[in-house]
Structure 1
């Protein structure tokens, strides 16, 4: 009987859509509806099945959870796009307009006029008002959280399924409210966000074709180079030219999968540190997608509450992973540079500086450059979902506007609030630190052998200055958090790495080995201090005071990197115990080599996962872990191919172009290649 009753209810509702005034409703608004839309609406409102499908695929008011900050409703995206009806009057397909209708939440918003006047809307409009995309993003960021006391209003965002000739403004009112003509229109607004049909994202622009051809050419180069490499190995002959193997999957795959033995020139624990830091970055950005309101959540208040608990620091401290990268970068630069630089004159070192910069640019740019091309072209074709077009087009537009800042690695300063692929600020800061590095390394190389202690003290003094100056800027100039993406904020991490790298280069054969008890005590201190700063971070953010915030943000990064100094030193001299054993596992050598490409790609993977969601999700720690596992695995798979296709080939080309591999065999006239045994150094 219950099933029969439900069937009768649905049948009555469908009939009501057709006969109980739907056509009259639209005809009364004909003056505000375009002729093509009115023609399609005439077909829809006289076809109960078609009307029901569009009504069913649209959001409804009221939705469950409105008083619990469930402020996003996607409707049914697949159902809307599946609508395809054709008769003698023409064809009608479903057009999905995600988050196209904005309602001032009447359950959470007693001050309706306040939200309107704050953003420049009419308080007594004669018709629903329109919100631009830029204003929508601002309002969405500010009016989402019901738990903030000084924001007494919340916007609820709904989605519409309309005929393809119509707009949500023409049709959405009826689908949302049905026969509620007395609904206060001051509460209702429309957005100009992009809509989507089954035919959307099917038109290829010139840039899309160029990028697709580029990928095809790279694939062909990889196939041809791999075949040539296989033939050389089969006939035991040296390659005629090193560039012929630059795209070989066999050659690059061997470099990627190679496991080297521990030597004094290698800091094996860095491999583990790099990959663990990379996993931390992925976890941090996975959470930021939910914090930013990119996806719909059933329990958004729980996200806010979770964010305000100290236990959340295990993910939210992920910014320290980037500080670890800066530390490692500074260390490796000094450790390698000071191997030969002290034997060279200042003039000889200065002459090599432009080549250093070019090396670095060619090292970083190919992988991230291809990612940029994907973002502004074919990325939008790779997915679909209620907010996919909005997100993909937003990233495309932002990157197109910021192209020169992106490739000059300056976007962390020029416009930090609107960067192209936000996590790429790290590459900008890293390049800026690298450019400044010769100012430190050249003087260090001139004095470190004869005046070792004085040089180390000088580097430590420079590090102290790099800590104090940003603190003064934050306290007296910014008087707030300021731009958190700047190089000068984190230059102390880089300098700590340089100082430690210089120390290890000069003293690696004369280590100061700690006693077992002293080593154990230092490990305890390092772990406790690291945990304390991460937990105390919660108090700093939730009980804001400018002085406390300035002091903490000034000291916590150098303290973290100082802890890393001891960890690396202890592991290098085989006193790291279980931590050393774990960080130096052979698998981390492979994963560490992939970490750069993983960093370049991980944000697109996470944006794709969020942008293609078609329903709201329930936030929990288990969901975060499950999500994180998927992101790591997918990012690793894509990064594996990215390394073979772009990163490693460019390393070979870079070495040849800048002279590192330009050695010719005088007897045979062929190019010498390092893989062959008879190649002299």
Structure 2
């Protein structure tokens, strides 16, 4: 205790290059004197530590001895305008702090004040340096604001060898600090989360498990300090403790302090849009209530347009379990529902594992267990939505081509598809750009939410043009938005393949098969040349930021890497169309062989991914190149037979499960759930105050809560934006296109929200 107190002031005087002992605050000296009275003697070890520390900082031993004598004698000093902070409370409303030397000294002893003082003296920004000295003096004088600021910062790390890399301190205590005891130098708390990086060996860089050599360290600093000053401060402190083997990274986004909410024109515009839609929904709902109770419900274009915005009408559409279908495609709703549920659960697991956790090694253990392969195969469920999108489009467009004998204008289909998808999508993007950063706070809020806002401000136009999987991929707005771009791009070229299948019964299938082979070869060649992973591997170390992951942005989100699944969906739609239109009966042998093949391929595809997470696995570029394409082909075959079997009445209990009526409302929310899921995941990580202990139970519990929140937000978004737009689309299609791929295009067509599957993820 005495060593730290004496050397703190000695270091401060030496750093100021003006060793004038008369400039020391008399009150502080009296405080040190009282501490001396409680412990007059120093043992040999303490004296050795004192001398070694003094030597390290270049402090003359004679200066330390003189300062010690001065404190012992409690000599009188002359004030010359240097820092003098009155020990008493100037603010009568400030809660009293017990003047306990034991508590104050325990706080002082918990910190290396020598390092802090030397670092503060080197701060270039005057305002930050002044507040830094005020903090150090306040710490010795037992001031509440100083104790809170120190208390809110991370202390000696715990569990480093256990893998714990997030030391978040106390966020709320830090940002809640308000000191107005000195009207000339008011101080507020500012929370900064520094990234401390150790030098990694080349061998350590190759290890993908764990969290790497990065430590997130919380420091509570005065509000006058900018990020670069805090970075230099932390760097200087570390140089005195662990040497120069570390580097510190800290940006303005990593520092947070409470400020008044700033409302920008774009924020007002977003609110205006929401209020406008809210008013339209209210008026439409009132109109429908009036029509039901007192008015005439005779259908007309104007009536249908107004009612399409009614909350009552949209809620009825969403919760309805009716499916009028003679094509046998009810199973599609079940596949969509289960796929989206597991996609949301997979996203939750990924964000939990890559966020602040106490035991990241536990996630690595879970990934090695084959039973968890379904979560690790989350990308296959995304491919399922691509498959369903292509299948439905192919099946319905072939029906329309038969009806119109090939005379079909696809331009309205493409235009209405854009109109159907974009409004709800754009609303979520605007929410990211405006109010999302303002609805919460937390240690990682800037690192997650504000970063996402900045990316959306830069790349929103690429999103609504559906090219963001090729343009500005390092600034991807909404990590899951790549799917919409892939689906839209393939949707625009799909009519070429579908028309060729209808027009040329022999050449069309050959052409499609040739394209499938090409789409199998291309990913394999790219994987072989670039030595890529066999598929996306969800190591927590690699996915602290999706847009920063090389495989994700350079391979996973590219359309040319996903085409095989989409083309398999088109082929399945064509096969089912031929079976149903020609009343072809599947033989018992064929059905048995198809079920065995489907089960084997599906199981192998799902569970084989676990191999790549095993410690004994060694990367083989040929295996990776073969796996990247073949596992997608196998998954497409498994899904294709499942749909064909259900549609032809040989699905058994699997078909019964997929036709469960409870899944119908969920399937109608899949698109909106896909859009809002990112909000739930980012908010969870951004506001997290303390690292979570990872177990299968905690992950499952959190994943379930994320699913509930995701579908709840999806329900709200669907009622307010997606369902009304879809209602208008159906009316316009019925009026203008007469009809083209609307819900009334075929008698008994599935009454789902869209003519294609939109997940999607």
What TM-score do the two structures reach when normalised by structure 2? 0.73
Specify whether residues 232 and 175 from structure 1 end up closer, same or farther in structure 2 by C-alpha distance, changes over 3 A only. same
Which residue of 2 is the match for residue 91 of structure 1? 186
- Structure 1 residue 268, shift from structure 2 partner: 0.6
Which residue of 2 is the match for residue 565 of structure 1? 640
- The correspondence for 2:611, drawn from 498, 517, 539, is 539
**Residue-by-residue CA offset, 1:145-190 (whole Å, 9 max, x unaligned):** 6858xx9x72322011112123476578989998995552453524
Worse-superposed segment, 536-545 or 320-329: 536-545
- The correspondence for 1:160, drawn from 219, 233, 249, is 219
Which residue of 2 is the match for residue 210 of structure 1? 269
Q: 1:646, 1:278 → 2: CA distance?
A: 20
Q: 2:585, 2:405 → 1: CA distance?
A: 34
Which residue of 1 is the match for residue 543 of structure 2? none
Worse-superposed segment, 15-24 or 215-224: 15-24
Q: 1:488, 1:188 → 2: CA distance?
A: 39
Specify whether residues 53 and 268 from structure 1 end up closer, same or farther in structure 2 by C-alpha distance, changes over 3 A only. same
**Residue-by-residue CA offset, 1:343-377 (whole Å, 9 max, x unaligned):** 5466x43xx22222111111111111111101111
- Please, which runs of 5 or more residues in structure 2 have no aligned partner? 1-96, 534-553, 739-761
Is 1:380 aligned to 2:437, yes or no? yes
- Structure 1 residue 290, shift from structure 2 partner: 4.2
Contact 1:594 1:640 in 2 (8 A): yes
Contact 1:201 1:381 in 2 (8 A): no
Which residue of 2 is the match for residue 471 of structure 1? 524
**Residue-by-residue CA offset, 1:563-596 (whole Å, 9 max, x unaligned):** 1121112222332222111110111111111111
- The correspondence for 1:278, drawn from 325, 328, 340, is 340
Is 1:608 aligned to 2:699, yes or no? no
- Structure 1 residue 401, shift from structure 2 partner: 1.5
**Residue-by-residue CA offset, 1:290-340 (whole Å, 9 max, x unaligned):** 45x4x2221112223333443331201010111111111111111111112
Q: Rg larger in 1 or in 2? A: 2
Query: What is the DSSP-based 3-state SS (H/G/I as helix, E as strand, rest coil) of the residue aligned with 2:179?
Result: strand
Contact 2:123 2:129 in 1 (8 A): no
- Structure 1 residue 462, shift from structure 2 partner: 3.5
Which residue of 2 is the match for residue 435 of structure 1? 492
**Residue-by-residue CA offset, 1:105-160 (whole Å, 9 max, x unaligned):** xxxx6x7xx79xx9xxxxxxxxxxxxxxxxxxxxxxx9796858xx9x72322011
Which residue of 2 is the match for residue 480 of structure 1? 532
Worse-superposed segment, 356-365 or 193-202: 193-202
- Structure 1 residue 554, shift from structure 2 partner: 0.9
- The correspondence for 1:264, drawn from 309, 314, 326, is 326
What TM-score do the two structures reach when normalised by structure 1? 0.81
Root mean square deviation of aligned Cα: 3.4
- Structure 1 residue 386, shift from structure 2 partner: 0.2
Q: 1:27, 1:205 → 2: CA distance?
A: 41
Q: 2:687, 2:476 → 1: CA distance?
A: 22
Specify whether residues 144 and 255 from structure 1 end up closer, same or farther in structure 2 by C-alpha distance, changes over 3 A only. farther
Which residue of 2 is the match for residue 40 of structure 1? 131
Q: 1:231, 1:619 → 2: CA distance?
A: 54
- The correspondence for 1:67, drawn from 158, 161, 185, is 161
**Residue-by-residue CA offset, 1:239-272 (whole Å, 9 max, x unaligned):** 6443222311112222222222453235111111
Worse-superposed segment, 41-50 or 263-272: 41-50
Which residue of 2 is the match for residue 672 of structure 1? none
- Structure 1 residue 645, shift from structure 2 partner: 0.7
- Please, which runs of 5 or more residues in structure 1 have no aligned partner? 1-6, 119-141, 664-681
| 1:379-418 pair list within 5 angstroms | 379-418=436-475
**Residue-by-residue CA offset, 1:15-47 (whole Å, 9 max, x unaligned):** 466799969964884452533234434443235
Q: 1:535, 1:10 → 2: CA distance?
A: 61
Query: What is the DSSP-based 3-state SS (H/G/I as helix, E as strand, rest coil) of the residue aligned with 2:165?
Result: coil
Q: 2:374, 2:112 → 1: CA distance?
A: 57
- Structure 1 residue 397, shift from structure 2 partner: 1.2
| 1:158-307 pair list within 5 angstroms | 158-167=217-226, 181=240, 183-187=242-246, 189-197=248-256, 199-200=258-259, 202-237=261-296, 238=298, 240-291=302-353, 293=354, 295-307=355-367
Contact 1:168 1:190 in 2 (8 A): no
Specify whether residues 517 and 505 from structure 1 end up closer, same or farther in structure 2 by C-alpha distance, changes over 3 A only. closer
Is 1:625 aligned to 2:714, yes or no? no
Q: 1:9, 1:519 → 2: CA distance?
A: 84
